[in-house]
Amino acid sequence: MVELQINTTQNVNINFIAASVGERILAYIIDLIIKIAYAVVTYQIMFNLFNIDDLIDGMDDWSRIAIIVSFYLPVVFYSLIFETFLDGQTIGKRIMKIKVVKIDGYQAALADYLVRWFFRIIDLNMMSGIVALIAIVTSKKSQRLGDMTAGTSVITLKNNVNISHTILEELEDSYKPTYPNVIKLSDNDARIIKDTFVRAKAARDYETLIKLRTKIVQVVEIKDFNGSDLEFIDTILKDYNYYTQGSFDTKTF
């Protein structure tokens, strides 16, 4: 079990457990099965249902190849498409409860997923994935070459955590939110804010609390706010939980 310590832009250390080799292999197999199923179904539709051979019979070889390849592009770009739109997960990763994250605390972006996808040529397609396996096993952060280049890693989401370790806040049924603009924040933002808030409050680091409040006011675009720094940040976290329970964004704080 490899533990990853991510240092965020707020100098907060967050610990994650890297996905095991077995979890990553199983996720890859699930994704492979899905891609094979798509290819088989597409073939049946193209050649048996629509008789595409008759449609492209008069075309030159390159035109035929281009049309056929276009139907299989989703297989080629499978991981890039799903990791981009499922916040670092393919279907296989989601089933295995693992995901791609940046090791610097930021949310992975399209450019990061693109780098990982490109390096699949070396990691997974050359030598049947042996390159990726060796890289993951020998890397301190369980990274394949694509992860090392993109500055990402794959973590497990199966950690047992309680409410004090998450962005969630216990709210009374009668709770009334104060700052609706908190929806500008993301799950990642709120987690960083809470971790920083908890540590600063415990250490009585009032300077950090002031900086954190100032940053929140700037990002959330709040013009008027009441109470002390402690009260304000606590309200922000509760309001975020009130408005976004079960629905999280992917922007970066």
Is 25 exposed, middle or buried, given 0-12, 13-18 or 19+ CB atoms closer than 10 A?
middle
CB atoms within 10 A of CB 246: 4
Helix (H/G/I), strand (E/B), else coil: 7: strand
pLDDT of 165 over the 50 cut: no
User: Which of 89-93, 102-106, 238-242 is least confident?
Assistant: 102-106
147: confidence class by pLDDT, cuts 50, 70, 90: very high
Tell me what the mean pLDDT of segment 94-107 comes to: 85
Please name the residues in contact with 219: beta carbons below 8 A apart, sequence gap of 6 or more: 184, 185, 189, 253
Q: How far from 84 is each of 89, 90, 125, CA to CA, in Å?
A: 8, 9, 21
Distance CA 187, CA 191 (A): 6
Distance CA 233, CA 170 (A): 15
Distance CA 78, CA 160 (A): 30
Tell me what the mean pLDDT of segment 34-60 comes to: 78
User: Which of 35-39, 158-162, 191-195 is least confident?
Assistant: 158-162
Q: How far from 111 is each of 99, 100, 143, 149, 172, CA to CA, in Å?
A: 16, 13, 17, 11, 41
Distance CA 189, CA 196 (A): 11
* Predicted confidence (pLDDT) per residue in 115-144, tens digit: 999 999 899 887 778 999 999 999 888 899
Picking from 179, 176, 135, the residue whose alpha carbon sits closest to that of residue 24 is: 135
User: pTM of the prediction?
Assistant: 0.61
